[in-house]
């Protein structure tokens, strides 16, 4: 099976203009978020947990309102999604 990558762009532009982050593999404490159903309601609550291990980030082109400096300094506080059996591999 051949995996195709798609090009990324932004339709709008925040205070921080469109920019691209290269693919990377690194390690830091990172967060995961689950949605726990509240019994007897239609509501959910966020539950978070965190741990540290080597993981990857695929290339990303985006824009945002916060500064690039905040983006870099606060990266470890972002929730991440990845396959824990292969956290350094991209899965399409």
Q: Kindly report, residue by residue over 26-45, the tens digit of the pLDDT.
A: 998 888 889 999 999 999 99
Cα–Cα nearest to 27, from 50, 49, 48, 56: 56
Strands (E), the chain: 16-21, 24-37, 44-57, 60-64
pTM: 0.64
CA distance 8 to 20: 9
For 3-14, write each residue's pLDDT tens digit.
Answer: 556 788 888 888
- CA-nearest of 25, 77, 79 to 54 is 25
């Amino acid at each position: 099976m051949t995996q195709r990558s798609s090009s990324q762009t932004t339709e709008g532009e925040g205070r921080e203009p469109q920019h691209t982050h290269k693919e990377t593999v690194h390690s830091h404490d990172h967060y995961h978020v689950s949605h726990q159903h509240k019994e007897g309601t239609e509501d959910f609550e966020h539950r978070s947990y965190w741990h540290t291990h080597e993981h990857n980030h695929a290339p990303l082109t985006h824009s945002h309102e916060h500064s690039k400096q905040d983006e870099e300094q606060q990266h470890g506080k972002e929730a991440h999604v990845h396959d824990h059996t292969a956290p350094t591999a991209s899965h399409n």
